[in-house]
Structure 1
């Protein structure tokens, strides 16, 4: 049976200030925990059912993380999601380390993305399309929010993020690289040519889009052409469309 202190500690990590205090975060569910094992994250401990331990005994034997047996009911009581019925891990967060645009890569810039589910989806989409770096505004939701980690489906282990003041970041690091921004009134994305020299792709806030301050750095304003009557696109879906069009032109070699 889990101790009260263990339960209190895990529950505290659902709150940002305690994640920052303890420099730790929660990973829930078999798929995400298994990907965590194969990542560079330091694992503090793992809670798992007997069934999970038996099924993945070989993988677990290769790791030194503390392992504690729990019941399905205990996990469901601890987790944020009712689907978590096999395992939960607590891992150490990484330092907020500067990320630069290098060579012909594209760096994704997120301007005030507030919904954790959207951020998790964007992380997963970026991973799918071979984008390894995401630079986030200071107002963007926390990368280590349990809902972000859950929506990212393991992709959080492969994507690097850097939270910073975007005005300063772009002013100092844009150099001569293009900054492509998604707007409602831009040129058609389907006719736009992405630079083979790489650059930055900016996605804006769910309600307000890209702010005027960040928009001032955008060299190319593009829009996803609307055919039907929908008022807008979810930012996660819009990011996928942007990156898909970029990758059609500039495949990863």
Structure 2
């Protein structure tokens, strides 16, 4: 049985903060399914830290390239875990780099995330993209950090299958905007989504939780959509949670 050094504990604990994730180009993932999904997707692992009980139960690590494997007591995992009830396995992974492929973007649906701040919302949207076969998600520079541990946990492994990039969204839209490439966004004055002509390619913009789609991007939207409440004109919540709205939108696109 190994013991984590103070240096290792300090490094792993520091990765709770974006500053150090950026500095070391590392992030944390906890839980059997999440860690194994990342390994299966060939995400490079710097450390894999696990208990003897987990190894005896699973022992699936031989085929994966892992820089350092450390078997520890469960109380050691508690020192570095971000979870209230720590999992028996924690991975420290190198932050992957994604290459944007313009030809794929032009012929498929992509999600654009405009300054979403809640880690749970971003993680859930990535799961939704995975479920509905949307391979590319583009985030504005001010969107919550993808490698925030709470975002990683909320993706439930979907992060291993989706390409996520941070880029100025206005520039991205202008680069790809063409007559037959729609830019979708949700608005109260939009066309009811269930009656709209929806294409199998384009950008779908999901706006900030409180402010919605930014004014800059509103001007670039070519197709305004509206998710109606039911029954119409009945008093209801002011708006839908952004991840719930994203699920409804993606479902309707795929239903067609």
TM-score class, shorter-chain normalisation, is over 0.9
Q: Distance in 2 between matches of 1:239 and 1:156?
A: 17
Provide the TM-score with structure 2 as the length reference: 0.92
Check the 8 A contact 1:185/1:223 in 2, yes or no: yes
Q: Distance in 1 between matches of 2:176 and 2:199?
A: 17
Structure 2: stretches of 5+ with no match in the other structure: none
Any runs of at least 4 consecutive aligned residues in structure 1 with deviations exceeding 4 A, and if so which?
A: none
**2:238 corresponds to which residue?**
231
Deviations 1:162-210 (A, max 9, x none): 11111111111222300110223311111112114x1111100000000
- Deviation, 1:97, is 3.8
Q: Distance in 2 between matches of 1:175 and 1:70?
A: 55
Matches within 5 A, 1:157-236: 157-176=160-179, 177-196=181-200, 198-227=201-230, 229-236=236-243
Q: Distance in 1 between matches of 2:157 and 2:229?
A: 32
Query: Is residue 52 of structure 2 the alignment partner of residue 50 of structure 1?
Result: yes
Deviations 1:138-163 (A, max 9, x none): 11111111111000000000110111
Check the 8 A contact 1:137/1:164 in 2, yes or no: yes
**2:110 corresponds to which residue?**
107
Deviations 1:61-107 (A, max 9, x none): 11231211122222233111123321100000023643535353101
Deviations 1:201-232 (A, max 9, x none): 11000000001100111011111111261121
Check the 8 A contact 1:29/1:83 in 2, yes or no: no
Select 1:67's aligned residue among 63, 66, 69: 69
Q: Distance in 2 between matches of 1:76 and 1:190?
A: 48
Check the 8 A contact 1:96/1:161 in 2, yes or no: yes
Query: Is residue 218 of structure 2 the alignment partner of residue 243 of structure 1?
Result: no
**1:37 corresponds to which residue?**
39
Backbone CA RMSD of aligned residues: 1.4
**Does the residue aligned with 2:19 lie in a helix, a strand or coil?**
helix
Pair 1:81–1:99, CA change in 2 (3 A): farther
Q: Distance in 1 between matches of 2:237 and 2:79?
A: 39
After TM superposition, the structure 1 stretch with the greater mean CA deviation from structure 2, 74-83 or 171-180, is 74-83
Check the 8 A contact 2:112/2:203 in 1, yes or no: yes
Query: Is residue 130 of structure 2 the alignment partner of residue 127 of structure 1?
Result: yes
